[in-house]
Structures are given as structure tokens and as C-alpha cells.
Structure 1
Amino acid sequence: MNKKIMLLGSGELGRELTISLKRLGCYVVACDRYARAPAMQVADEFRVFDMLDGQLLDQHVKELNPHIIVPEIEAINTDMLMELEEEFVVVPSARAVSLTMNRDRIRDRAHELGLPTARFAYAENLEELLACYERMDCKVVIKPVMSSSGKGQSVVHAGRRQDAAQAWHDAVGNMRGDRAKVIIEEFIEFDDEITLLTIRQKNGHTIFCPVIKHEQVHGDFKNSQQGGFAIGGWEQKAQAMAKLITDDLGGFGLFGVEFFIRNDEVIFSELSPRPHDTGLVTLYTQDLSEFDLHARAMLHIPVASVSLMRSGACCTINAHHAADDYEIMGLDQAEQILSVQVMLFDKPNCYPNRRLGIVFGSSLEVAREGHAKISIQ
């Protein structure tokens, strides 16, 4: 009997995971808060409901009786997920999902494990935030403990109390879930920001994808590249740190572990217990994409290693306006450029900064050249 997979979250990452699971014979039910989400378009079945509602989540899980539950987004009632794990398999584990969906909990755990982190503090109201900000007395990043795609994240320089107050309102206004709590952390002047895709397998063999360098603007992923750049002596340090924290979280699957690199120093940033948006580049570069690897790990299909077939990069296509109907122009011009490929996510509407597609190329310069040909109307 084919495995029934219940996918909680049906965005572009969920779509690619659904395709990978279908290739391995799985029956996929895609769930999200809105209809015609990307993964729903390729799944066997779909459900539309608010996954933050524990009662609804429990109801749909019990009705579907899946072999595996796979969270793909942050907006999930993790308390109910922990209860459901007593009867169902959650990938990679309900504990991993609960810890990583809350920046304070995963940051605290990283600190307890001895991983180097930026200086940080938490605030649950404006007064606490301003007190922490003044005490740290440096350039900081302020963001919700629970959010997605960089929403609600601000960089505030020292001595800008009014900006810090505005950052509090931005963070609380963009938080996911029901936690009015923000993290304020030292801004690291880094050389590189990387993602290390880490795959935990049932056979006990943890493997790593080649390092991905990425760039974020206001906390939102804009481009990433894999291969074609020098890697310093920090790679083994990053792998050891990624293995330490993913072993602590447990379960089987792919984790996206983010680090800052400063000289040869490796500083832990964040972690996602699922395919990472910066890892979309692996659709272009690797023999098995991050989605193929996550699917195999959850199904206990062993993978000995990951091969980089070619260097590559990707740039995101983001909307600049709100509309229920839109058109993406310039694909013909973009794909005339050697090595450029364009992938669209076919989301039902757009709003400012919503990710609608991605442009791949053999290098970051080539991907940017293709990206420049794309427009949204």
C-alpha cells in the first residue's frame, strides 16, 4: 500500500516536495489556509483549513489517518501536533517542529548545546524591548519569535530609540501564531551567510549537501548559490555544529541550518526542520534536490551521498503590488540567455513581496541577468 502523506502547508516548497513524494509512489494530501495553493495543484487531494486551530487540525488528521504528517510552514498548532504524534508519525518530529517554529526556543537550545550565537534577548512588550535595546547598545536585528519569510524583521542602529519602537510594532504586526514576543539580537557583520542542508537518516548516517551561500534583504531570501566559490576551513566546524543540533532535535528528514561566517568563525543563526527556501537552487545543481532528499529520509530510503552536478544560483521573483489577477512577463527573453531557467509557482494572487517564482542560472550573475528580464503586471 502506498504511503499516505499529509502535508501541512502547500506553498512552493510543498509543491516540489509533493512531486518528489509522488515519484516515490506516495499519496499526498496537501493542506493550507487558502485554496489552489501550489502544492494542491499537484497533490492527490487537498484540504483548506486554519492549521493554527488545534481542533480543526485534530479533526482533519483523524479523518485522513495518514501514515506521515509533514509540516511545511510555521503557522501550525504545535501543541496539537505533539498530541497527534502519540498516534501518528510527524516528520522529522513534533519536538523539532515545535522548537524551530519559535526562534526563542531554538536559540535557547543552541545556546544550551554550546553553539556560538549572536548576543540576544527577548521582549514581550515595548518597554522590555527598549530596555534590552539600550542595554545591548549596538546595531541589532529585531524580529518576531515566530514568523516566516523574514516578515516583521528590522535592523536598528544604536541610538535610534524611535526606530526600535517602530521595529516592535512591525514585529508584532507580522508575527505568526499567537505569541506577542520578539527577539532582539546583535547584528553580526558577517563575511557570508550560509545554509547547510543536513539530512538525518534512519540508518544513522547523516549527510550534508554542498554549502549554499545566500543573501537576504530585510530577512527575506532573495538569492542563493551553490558551487563555484571558495570554502574556507570553517566547513567542518559548520557540519559538526549542524550534526550536534539536529541529533538533539531527533527524527528523520532534511534540516536547513543557517550560519553566519566571519573569518573562520561559525555562528549559529536559525534552523528549519524541512526543505529550506535557499535550497531551491538544488533543483538546478544537485543529482537529488533537497525535496528528493527529504522524501527519501522520511520514507527511510537510504542515500549514501549527494553529488553537485553543476554550479548554479537562483534569484527570487517577488511581487511589488497587490492583485487578484496578475501576469508574469519576459519568460521568453529570460530563457534566451544560456543556462537560464525560470520556474513559476502559480499562486492565485499577489501582494507586495510575495514570492511568485524563481530564476536559475549557471552563476549568480547569469541568474540576475535572467531575472532582469522578468516583470509582473
Structure 2
Amino acid sequence: MKKILLLGSGELGKELTISLKRMGCYVIACDAYENAPAMQVSDIAEVFNMLDKEKLNEVIKLHRPDFIVPEVEAIETEVLLEAETNGYTVIPSAKAVNLTMNRDRIRDRAKSLGLKTARFAYAETEEDLILEAKKIGTKVAVKPVMSSSGKGQSYAKSEEELRNSWKFAIEGMRGNRKRVIVEEFIDFDYEITLLTILERSGKVSFCNPIGHFQKRGDYQYSWQPAECSDNVIKEAQEAAKTMVLDLGGSGIFGVEFFIDKKGGVIFSELSPRPHDTGMVTMYTQNYSQFDIHARVLTGMPLPKIKLIQPGASHVILAEENATGNYTIEGIEKALEDENVDYRIFGKPILKSYRRMGVILSSSLEGAKKAANKIFVKSLE
């Protein structure tokens, strides 16, 4: 029985834990709060701040896992680099986790590998941000170098908006790096996530591209397959393959691209684990992204991944400024529609715009229709 130390226990970690448990693995789910989603289906749980170097080291030495599997950004990655040196296996690799936990490091790496990116710069003060933004263009995107699920991201044109973006980015950052990336606004046609699979043998394969839409920098809905030209798919696959082979290890990577109005493929971001937009694969593929990650990280043979039907996913969101205990209503109404499924994540309390579940359907229209019938209500 393989022992998995899961660092981060959100909805993606929950689905991954279910896939690992089906394979007979023993899972220790870790997060900074009690009763996180993955803890509800794991063997045991550890509640602690994963940015605490001493505590993270202590947990690793206590459990001596076969695999250390990060699921979030807020981790002291230097501990993982050290753990890998000491013989532990970090998924997909300590290098991948260390680079991708910080937008500046992975963006610099992508540029050095020759990938096409938006023009970008970094700022560590509000005044630096204003200065760098003026060099880049009239409209820019501002993001913390370390955050998750779109937290702290915004667009800005004026000096006043840039000052607000600085504050918003610092409030949304994870970790202790008070630094932002300011990048050229890309007037893109659409965005895709290319789920890219790297096996221990070095073999690289891909799922069908996933289209997605974001709001407030956070995923709202996705669909698979995204309609892309053969040239777009080929260019995206080549770029993704270059990135994952450089990062090394084994696992599934969510590689995001902007597709501009001329069909140009521009690297956006990379996550070295299952991706929120990839939840649609629970409906569309013979093996979901979580099943794939579980098989590849444990070194099990991977069957051919097939798209068995088109589909879409749509988030079930808490309202702005929502807090406390809650109830979810309208699921019965949503299931009256044909070809609709759902997942409730089991998060213990509400937060503003927090993802509480996801609708799965055979079409984007169907997913939106079903999601509009569901309401997350605060009991406070």
C-alpha cells in the first residue's frame, strides 16, 4: 500500500484522494484548516501551516510517505527540495513545485525556454508597479507572484487603478513574497488549458484542449473539447511538452494558453497538478484528470485517454461577502434537466465568491442552466 502525503486538501485534492483510495493507497490529507474537503475522504488528516518549515519537516519525517503530492501554492517549497535530496519523491518533482509556486520563476523559465509570453515585469512597491506598467502599455494585468485560484488578480489602466490593483494583489497573495507581476493585456480570442501528462519514462501525452472562462481571475466554467485549429493544438502541445520535460518528474500538468485573434499561442500559466478547469474531465473522459494523476504518480500503467463525450462544468459559487455556515438549495431542480451531474465540495464555511461545488453537463448551455437553479445560502 503506497502512502501519500497530500499537501493541500481542497476540492481538487478531494477528487484526487478518491482516485488514490480506489487504487488502495493510504492518504494523509494536510491543510491549514480542519475538515477540509480531502480530509473527509482520507485516512487521516494533519492540520498545520504548510509555510511553517519546521512543522512541514516534522510531518514528513513522522509519516515517511512514498509520495509527497502538493495540491496548493502555500507550501514552503525549500523543504520539498530538501526532502527530494533526502530520497523522498515529490510529485511531479521538487523543481516543478518550486518554480510554479511563484509566477515570476515559472514565467522567467518559460521565456528562457523560448515560449511566447505576454510582455511582463515585476514590482515590489506601489511606485515600481506604476513605473513598470507605463513601460508595458495602456492596460495591464496585475497579479501576486504567489496566489491561487485567481486571488489578487486585476486589470488596470490609470494610476488610480494601479494603486488599487497593488492593494488587491497584496491582499490576495499567499506566502510572504510582497511582489507582483505586471503583464501586457492580451486581447485574446479565447483561453485553453492543455492537460499534459508526463510519465516516469519521459513519455508525454495530452488530453483534448479545454476551453475556459474566468471572472475576477478565477475559473467560472470550462468545456471540452475546445474548438481549436490543428495549428493551435500543435503549437500548444509543443510548448507544453517543452515546459514539462524541463520541469521533470511525473504527473499531470495544467498548462494555460491565450489564443489571440490571429491564432497565436501565448503561454499564460502552469500548474503541476490537476487543474480546476479540468474538473470537466469527470464527465468527458474515460479517465478523469484525477485518475490520470493517481496512476502516473504511483507509476501504474496508463491506458489510452479518450474523450468519450463532450461536456462542460460550471462552478457553484458563494455570494460576495458570504460568511459562516450554509445550505445549498436547488440541486433537485437542477437534476431535472437531462445529462446533468454535480459535485459538492464539502467546504466547512462560506467565504466571498468561494467555490462550493461544480455542475457537470453535456453542454455549456446545460451546465449554465443547471447552475442557475442552485443557490448557496448563508445561515448566519
TM range, normalised to the smaller chain? Answer: over 0.9
SS in 2 for 1:138: coil
Per the TM alignment, residue 185 of structure 1 is displaced from its structure 2 partner at its CA by 0.2
The gaps in structure 2 that reach 5 residues or longer are: none
SS in 1 for 2:231: coil
Task: In structure 2, give the amino acid aligned to 1:207.
Answer: S
Q: Which residue of 2 aligns with 1:176?
A: 174
Per the TM alignment, residue 4 of structure 1 is displaced from its structure 2 partner at its CA by 0.3
Q: Which residue of 1 aligns with 2:23?
A: 24
Q: Which residue of 2 aligns with 1:51?
A: 50
| Alignment check: 8 A CA contact 1:155 1:218 kept | no
Structure 1 runs (4+) greater than 3 angstroms displaced: 228-232
Q: Which residue of 2 aligns with 1:352?
A: 352
| Alignment check: 8 A CA contact 1:284 1:312 kept | yes
How far apart, CA to CA, are the structure 1 residues paired with 2:77 and 2:226?
Answer: 39
Counterpart of 1:243 (choices 237, 241, 244) is 241
Task: In structure 2, give the amino acid aligned to 1:249.
Answer: L
The percent of aligned pairs where both chains have the same amino acid is: 52
| Alignment check: 8 A CA contact 2:170 2:178 kept | yes
Report the more deviating stretch, 301-310 or 95-104.
301-310
SS in 1 for 2:12: helix
| Alignment check: 8 A CA contact 2:322 2:353 kept | no
Q: Which residue of 2 aligns with 1:72?
A: 71
How far apart, CA to CA, are the structure 2 residues paired with 1:231 and 1:358?
Answer: 28
Q: What aligned pairs does 1:107-256 form with structure 2 within 5 A after superposition?
A: 107-157=107-157, 160-227=158-225, 229=227, 231-256=229-254
Q: Which residue of 2 aligns with 1:9?
A: 8
Task: In structure 1, give the amino acid aligned to 2:102.
Answer: N
| Alignment check: 8 A CA contact 2:340 2:361 kept | yes
Per the TM alignment, residue 322 of structure 1 is displaced from its structure 2 partner at its CA by 2.7
Q: TM-score, normalised by structure 1?
A: 0.98
How far apart, CA to CA, are the structure 2 residues paired with 1:142 and 1:264?
Answer: 24
Deviations 1:72-118 (A, max 9, x none): 00000011111111221100011100100100000000000000000
Per the TM alignment, residue 302 of structure 1 is displaced from its structure 2 partner at its CA by 2.4
How far apart, CA to CA, are the structure 2 residues paired with 1:106 and 1:178?
Answer: 18
Per the TM alignment, residue 137 of structure 1 is displaced from its structure 2 partner at its CA by 2.6
Per the TM alignment, residue 264 of structure 1 is displaced from its structure 2 partner at its CA by 2.0
Task: In structure 2, give the amino acid aligned to 1:200.
Answer: L
| Alignment check: 8 A CA contact 2:202 2:245 kept | no
| Alignment check: 8 A CA contact 1:207 1:305 kept | no
Q: TM-score, normalised by structure 2?
A: 0.97
Task: In structure 2, give the amino acid aligned to 1:234.
Answer: V
How far apart, CA to CA, are the structure 1 residues paired with 2:376 and 2:171?
Answer: 27
The gaps in structure 1 that reach 5 residues or longer are: none
Task: In structure 2, give the amino acid aligned to 1:297.
Answer: V
The number of equivalent residue pairs is 374
Per the TM alignment, residue 229 of structure 1 is displaced from its structure 2 partner at its CA by 3.6
Per the TM alignment, residue 351 of structure 1 is displaced from its structure 2 partner at its CA by 1.0
Per the TM alignment, residue 304 of structure 1 is displaced from its structure 2 partner at its CA by 4.5
SS in 1 for 2:358: strand
Task: In structure 2, give the amino acid aligned to 1:220.
Answer: D
Per the TM alignment, residue 138 of structure 1 is displaced from its structure 2 partner at its CA by 2.2
Q: Which residue of 1 aligns with 2:309?
A: 310
Q: Which residue of 1 aligns with 2:333?
A: 333
Task: In structure 2, give the amino acid aligned to 1:119.
Answer: R
Q: Which residue of 2 aligns with 1:61?
A: 60
| Alignment check: 8 A CA contact 1:211 1:226 kept | yes
Deviations 1:274-297 (A, max 9, x none): 000000000011000000111111
Q: Using a 3 Å threshold, how does the CA distance of structure 1 residues 135 and 279 change in structure 2: closer, same or farther? A: same
Per the TM alignment, residue 366 of structure 1 is displaced from its structure 2 partner at its CA by 0.5
Q: CA RMSD in A?
A: 1.0
| Alignment check: 8 A CA contact 1:228 1:311 kept | no
Per the TM alignment, residue 139 of structure 1 is displaced from its structure 2 partner at its CA by 1.2
Task: In structure 1, give the amino acid aligned to 2:126.
Answer: L
Deviations 1:314-351 (A, max 9, x none): 11011114332100000000000001112100110001
| Alignment check: 8 A CA contact 1:316 1:357 kept | yes
Task: In structure 1, give the amino acid aligned to 2:199.
Answer: Q
Q: Which residue of 2 aligns with 1:265?
A: 264
How far apart, CA to CA, are the structure 2 residues paired with 1:264 and 1:227?
Answer: 17
